[in-house]
Amino acid sequence: MDDRIIGYTTGVYDMFHIGHLNVIERAKEQCDYLIVGVSTDELVRHEKNKIPVIPYEERVAIVSALRAVDEVVPQVDKNKLEAWKRLHFNKMFVGSDWKGTPEWKKFERELKPYGVEIIYLPHTDGISSTQLLTVIKGKLNEK
């Protein structure tokens, strides 16, 4: 029997930044094997109504290169129970900014019968991909 603690976290990882790295590294500290789901371009278009700046294949290459990441899988939808059925993780990691939201309360209820612990990791304040894009657009407009 495999006694490893398998962790799972997901994200778009567009415009990869220190907040993304913090979540991934903190997650890895709490598991033996870390699987990271990277949202496909199609999922981002469907859920956020935008096109990622960095294409899916390049975002996968970036996340795969991190030593804290053991495996990268496509996140084709936000159904965490279906992800568990495929990956059988023990812990799911997400930023603390999602704690208490209806969406994550639902995930907690769905995954609890399978013994999955959802761990909310501290959000890195002051940084987001949206903020980075705003800064870049501002710099481009200065020229």
Domain assignment of residue 114, yes or no: yes
Helix (H, G, I), strand (E, B) or coil at 76: coil
Mean pLDDT score across all residues of the chain: 91
Kindly tell me the sign of the dihedral angle through the C-alpha atoms of 27, 31, 32, 35.
negative
Domain holding 12, by residue range, is 6-142
Catalytic residue (one of 28, 48, 80, 139): 48
Domains identified in the chain, total number: 1
Residue numbers in the chain where pLDDT is lower than 50: none
Does 52 map to a domain? yes
CATH number at residue 49: 3.40.50.620
48 is a catalytic site residue: yes
Residue 108: HSE in the Cβ half-sphere, 13 Å Cα cutoff: 12
Note the pTM of the prediction, 2 decimals.
0.88
Contact between 23 and 95 under an 8 Å Cβ cutoff? The reply is: yes
Question: Does any domain span residue 1?
Answer: no
pLDDT at 136: 61
Q: What is the pLDDT of residue 48?
A: 87
User: What SS3 state is found at 62?
Assistant: helix
